[in-house]
Amino acid sequence: MNPLSLHHLTVLDATPLELIDIAADTGCEQVCVFVHSSAPELNFPVVGEDDIEVTRPRLRARGIEIYNLEFYPIAPEVDFDTYERTLSVGARLGARRATAHIHDPDDDRAHETFSRFCRLAGRYDLHVGLEFTAFARVSNLASAVTFIQQANEPNAAVAVDVLHLMRNGGDPAQLAAIDPALIGYMQICDGPLSVTPEAMIGEAVGERGIPGQGSFPLQAYLRCAPPGVTIDVEVPQSAAMHAGVSPLDRARRAVDATRALMRLATENT
């Protein structure tokens, strides 16, 4: 099966070191961490330069890799010094890729900035995943594919979060129709087929469904995963957290459910 990564958003109340332990205890091979957040009001736990010396041995001891670094808005103004510093932190911890969102309404400038970011990431041997969301300028699969093709950066691909695929008019058939080489990594959760626009941000960052317990066509989605592409378990569960369910138990629910669906998707191919 494809390797599994545990996204920090799944257990946002855990520290980065606890995230590593939880990933190992649930059988994941990788984690997705925050090294840069342009939204301090969300209070995401960020791995900084001062954390390298304690994080590196924990990763090694638990056999976990940092797969992805979040997140890098491509906006009208970008502080590339900060971006480089945080990419360097991730690279020193062995990270493989970083996620970018497009928020610049000027298409030419957005492409120029994105290409500059890709080249910067490339200096640290990092790939870049362009994630499309309803809250960004590039908001759906088709526009993300077009953007990546036009950018023509060798280390750039599309990051496909099933939530954003479903919420922005996409489906597994559309995903299956694109070149698999354009898929950098995939993120999984579940949910109802539709929500109100007002509920979308809260859903994305606070309350997603356990895979297999909602209405998303997840087996079809998983069958679109190219061999070797990481499946990132991104299932924040605010209600369970406030009810006292531990981070480990919440992560185990999401990871075990994902693994079961991956088996079913393979068996039903």
Q: Give Dmax (Cα) for the chain.
A: 48
Is the pLDDT score of 1 beyond 90? no
User: What was the pLDDT predicted at 16?
Assistant: 97
Element spanning 33, H or E: strand 30-34
Contact yes or no for 126/151 (Cβ under 8 A)? no
What does the mean pLDDT of the chain come to? 96
Among 6-20, 26-40, 98-112, 214-228, the range scoring the smallest mean pLDDT is 26-40
The 10s digit of each residue's pLDDT in 163-191 is: 999 999 999 999 999 999 999 999 999 99
Is the pLDDT score of 143 beyond 70? yes
User: What was the pLDDT predicted at 40?
Assistant: 66
Exposed, middle or buried, 124 (CB in 10 Å: 0-12/13-18/19+)? middle
* Domains assigned to the chain: 4-267 (3.20.20.150)
Q: Token digits for 242? A: 């406030």
Dist CA 114 CA 101 (whole Å): 9
- In a 13 Å sphere around the CA of 20, the CA atoms on its Cβ side amount to 19
The 10s digit of each residue's pLDDT in 232-252 is: 999 999 999 999 999 999 999
Residue 43: left (phi > 0), alpha (psi -120 to 50), or beta?
A: left
Instruction: Give which of 5, 129, 119 is closest to 67, Cα–Cα.
Output: 5
Is the pLDDT score of 254 beyond 70? yes
pTM of the model: 0.96
Is the pLDDT score of 221 beyond 80? yes
Compute φ and ψ for 263, nearest 5 degrees.
-65, -45
What is the CB neighbour count within 10 angstroms for residue 63?
10
Dist CA 135 CA 101 (whole Å): 9
User: What was the pLDDT predicted at 36?
Assistant: 84
The 10s digit of each residue's pLDDT in 78-87 is: 999 999 999 9
The 10s digit of each residue's pLDDT in 28-78 is: 999 999 998 766 666 789 999 999 999 999 999 999 999 999 999 999 999
Dist CA 20 CA 31 (whole Å): 7
